[in-house]
């Protein structure tokens, strides 16, 4: 299905990608720094991607033809705070690029 996806379609596809044992997940340096800064782990990111919701429409990514999606959820390590993961799915294969990770309340 061509992008951009609706929020419901994005939630379903991103969750399926994150659950696929063959999915390649790439973190930008910025995302790695934000994880460390916030005391979150890759497990938290995976929890958000697998169980979170996409509430907003996609935004164009920096690479033409790709789109960014914001996935939100609490995680076991977030102390009740909601986490947002900005992710760019690869077209046609299970791969996700994590752009950043943030607290929603900041």
List pLDDT tens digits, range 32-81: 999 999 999 999 999 999 999 999 999 999 999 999 999 999 999 889 99
Domains and CATH numbers, the chain: 7-103 (3.30.2310)
Confidence of residue 1 (pLDDT cuts 50, 70, 90): low
Look at residue 93 in the predicted model and tell me its pLDDT.
Answer: 87
Give DSSP secondary structure letters for 50-97. Answer: HH-EE-S--EE-SSTT-EEEEEEEE-TTTTT-EEEEEEEEPTTSSEEE
Q: What is the mean pLDDT of the chain?
A: 95
pTM (two decimals): 0.94
Banded pLDDT at 2 (limits 50, 70, 90): confident
């Amino acid at each position: 299905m061509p992008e951009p996806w609706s929020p419901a379609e994005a939630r379903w596809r991103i969750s399926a990608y994150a659950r696929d044992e063959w999915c390649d997940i790439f973190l930008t340096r910025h995302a790695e720094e934000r994880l460390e800064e916030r005391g979150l782990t890759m497990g938290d990111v995976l929890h958000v991607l697998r169980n979170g919701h996409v509430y907003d429409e996609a935004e164009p990514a920096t690479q033409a033809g790709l789109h960014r999606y914001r996935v939100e959820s609490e995680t076991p390590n977030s102390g009740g705070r909601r986490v947002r993961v900005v992710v760019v799915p690869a077209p046609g294969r299970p791969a996700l690029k994590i752009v950043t990770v943030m607290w929603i309340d900041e």
